[in-house]
Amino acid sequence: MIPPIQPSRPARAPAQGERPRGRRRRARRGRAWGATVALLFAFAASGCASLADMTTAHPLDAGHFEVGVAITFYPSLQEPEIIGLPALEVGVRYGVGGGVDFGLRASSMLMLALDAKVALVDEADHAVAIQPTAGLSFAPLVSDKLVKGDLMVQIDVPVLVDYRFDAEHTLTLSPRYTALIVPGEGAPRHYLGGGVAGHFEVDPSVTLAPFAAAIFALNDRRSLLRNIANVGVTSRFH
């Protein structure tokens, strides 16, 4: 038996001032996309300085590679309304011999950095190295709550000091000078600071290193980027 055909219910006309359902769905999708884009912009446009050295004072042997991955958070030290968003950093190092190795790092904050590490002392229980670094951020930089440009140059000169407790545990201190150069600003920003990292070998080829670092502006009253902090953890594969 064929069931009787039910008459279709007429579409309800929207009340006065009410948006049709299709428009409401499109509006919700638009707001979701807008929030996503805003979050991605904030994630990529924070323009903060990277202080993750991702290495120790001990240089790599000639011809040896090392890959590092770091998760870094940028807590604000002076602007409570600024969120400390996480960033992913990936780096690779190559030893050229003679106590020298080179490193290249890339960050999800659209930053590239190149460094050269030169060992000054490399003993069984301690080591000292200097690691001049030049970085370029392609993210828009928010400075003094105004967008001043779309580039930032970072110059770092950390001195890495290792204290080796045994073959699997190393403490690294890193006093440093940092300069941030922002096109459109009248003068570079100069900083002094330092950091500490503990390196724990969890496998002959894997080392974990939680770290914390901070730099403080020298006689600079510009509100944003006056004091910068990084906390995170690095995994090194060698």
Residue 43 has pLDDT above 60, yes or no: no
Average pLDDT over residues 8-23: 53
Mean pLDDT (whole number) for 20-37: 47
In terms of phi and psi (left: phi > 0; alpha: psi -120 to 50; beta: otherwise), the region of 229 is beta
Average pLDDT value for residue range 148-163: 87
Mean pLDDT lowest for which of 94-98, 147-151, 187-191, 197-201?
A: 147-151
Angstrom distances, CA of residue 193 to CA of 58, 63, 142, 232: 21, 33, 22, 17
Q: How far apart are CA 208 and CA 168, in angstroms?
A: 10
User: What pLDDT band is residue 28 in, cutting at 50, 70 and 90?
Assistant: very low
Average pLDDT (214-232) is 78
Cα–Cα distance measured from residue 135 to residue 155, given in angstroms and rounded to the nearest whole number: 6
pTM of the model: 0.74
* DSSP string covering 178-190: EEEE-TTSSS-EE
The CATH topology of domain 42-237 is Porin (2.40.160)
